[in-house]
């Protein structure tokens, strides 16, 4: 299968097309940003070069199947099939801004017990062109389904979909290069947030080599023994090493880190859990993001079905964290009606066809 030009960063594309003049790569990149579907649409590119490109590259990755679902809260979810890889991406709308939530892997190898994506296993990494395609498709949704007429209607990108981004960092770096190119989508890296389950080595790599995106850590709990039961990755990425990596990230210029706490009813919402989170956050510039678990049937812990905490349980935990001096916010649930909320991706896409 031919590589897609849409996943090649501008500088690399310039080197490939250097014999044809550096301006050609800029022209082609502008067509990609516009959402061109074929080289034939590029009317300012010589026919001979278009023919050459068609022989060597695809313009965009081929989407075998696609299914779009809309939730009554304004959330959209798209299920794609790329070269036998089934993935989902989500368009979030808070009434003011649109956010593209993209995936970096088909499935996920981490296996967190509270996450649907983790329960379906791992297929493969996505390449940069497939990540860019997710964004282009979500942008088309804004233009086709809403009244937003801006040239670039999506305001931010969160790498929080299917998969663990730090296990596919080389391809993600290429995609972020394309997203942040000033002559293209022109996203500031600070408008892109990467969420990780906690790969200490990957956080250090991100700190050393960039890009300078915002970082969110799916902490869930700062109790090491409990975290290992909930998140197998915690066995090889213990809280001490993870804390050291976060400190290093901020010392290297990384901004405020979001600590994401998925609230699991009766499991990680005790007073001592709040105290341990406060201890973990000490010395870091953080905001605590509380996410009541989004129900997925069949997910269990120690022989019992997982439960969403009651409003009273969630509020009590929020208040406990606040009393410990932490900066805490509660995330508003979006996309539950289409299984597009946090931890639900992968539910209902097999098969894509109705």
Q: Could you give the residue numbers annotated as active site?
A: 88, 342
User: 326-350: string of b/e by CB count within 10 Å (b at 16+)?
Assistant: bebeeeeebbeebbbbbbbbbbbbe
3-state secondary structure 104-146: CEEECCCCCCCCHHHHCCEEEECCHHHHHHHHHHHHHHHHHHC
Nearest to 350 by CA among 88, 1, 155, 13: 88
Strand partners of residue 101 = 90, 158
**What is d(CA 314, CA 309) in angstroms, rounded to the nearest whole number?**
6
CA atoms within a 13 Å half-sphere pointing along the CA-CB vector of 134: 37
User: With contact defined as beta carbons under 8 Å apart, do 77 and 22 qualify?
Assistant: no
CA distance linking residue 286 with residue 26, whole number of Å: 39
Distance in angstroms (rounded) separating the CA atoms of residues 188 and 156 = 9
Q: Tell me whether residue 22 is exposed, middle or buried, using C-beta atoms within 10 angstroms of its C-beta: 0 to 12, 13 to 18, 19 or more.
A: exposed
Helix, strand, or coil (residue 176): helix
φ/ψ of residue 117, rounded to 5: -60, -40
Residues written for the chain: 354
Q: What phi, psi does 298 have (nearest 5°)?
A: 95, -10
DSSP 8-state secondary structure symbol assigned to residue 4: B
Cα distances (angstroms) measured from residue 226 to each of 200, 244, 268, 310? 18, 20, 8, 21
Q: How far apart are CA 158 and CA 149, in angstroms?
A: 22
């Amino acid at each position: 299968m031919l590589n897609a030009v849409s996943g090649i960063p501008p500088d690399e594309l310039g080197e490939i097309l250097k014999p044809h003049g550096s301006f050609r790569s800029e022209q082609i990149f502008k067509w990609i940003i516009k959402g061109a579907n074929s080289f034939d649409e590029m009317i300012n590119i010589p026919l001979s070069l278009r023919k050459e490109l068609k022989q060597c590259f695809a313009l965009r990755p081929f989407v075998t199947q696609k299914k779009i679902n809309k939730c009554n809260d304004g959330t959209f979810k798209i299920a794609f099939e790329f070269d036998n890889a089934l993935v989902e991406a989500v368009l979030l709308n808070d009434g003011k801004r649109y956010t593209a939530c993209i995936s970096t892997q088909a499935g996920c190898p981490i296996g967190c017990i509270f996450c649907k994506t983790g329960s379906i296993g791992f297929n493969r990494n996505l390449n940069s062109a497939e990540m860019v395609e997710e964004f282009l498709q979500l942008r088309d949704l804004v233009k086709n389904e809403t009244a937003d007429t801006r040239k670039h209607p999506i305001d931010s990108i969160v790498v929080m979909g299917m998969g663990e981004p730090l296990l596919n960092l080389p391809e993600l770096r290429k995609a972020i290069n394309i997203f942040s190119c000033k002559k293209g989508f022109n996203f500031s890296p600070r408008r892109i947030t990467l969420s990780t389950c906690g790969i200490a080595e990957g956080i250090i790599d991100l700190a050393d080599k960039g890009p300078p995106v915002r970082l969110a850590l799916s902490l869930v709990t700062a109790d090491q023994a409990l975290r290992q039961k909930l998140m197998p990755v915690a066995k090889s990425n213990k809280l001490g090493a993870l804390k050291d990596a976060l400190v290093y990230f901020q010392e290297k210029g990384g901004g405020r880190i979001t600590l994401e706490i998925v609230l699991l009813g009766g499991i990680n919402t005790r007073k001592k859990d709040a105290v341990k989170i406060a201890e973990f956050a000490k010395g870091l510039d953080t905001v605590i993001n509380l996410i009541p678990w989004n129900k997925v049937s069949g997910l269990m812990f120690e022989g019992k079905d997982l439960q969403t905490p009651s409003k009273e349980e969630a509020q009590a935990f929020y208040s406990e964290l606040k009393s410990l001096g932490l900066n805490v916010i509660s995330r508003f649930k979006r996309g539950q009606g289409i299984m597009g909320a946090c931890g639900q991706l992968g539910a209902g896409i097999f098969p894509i066809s109705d």
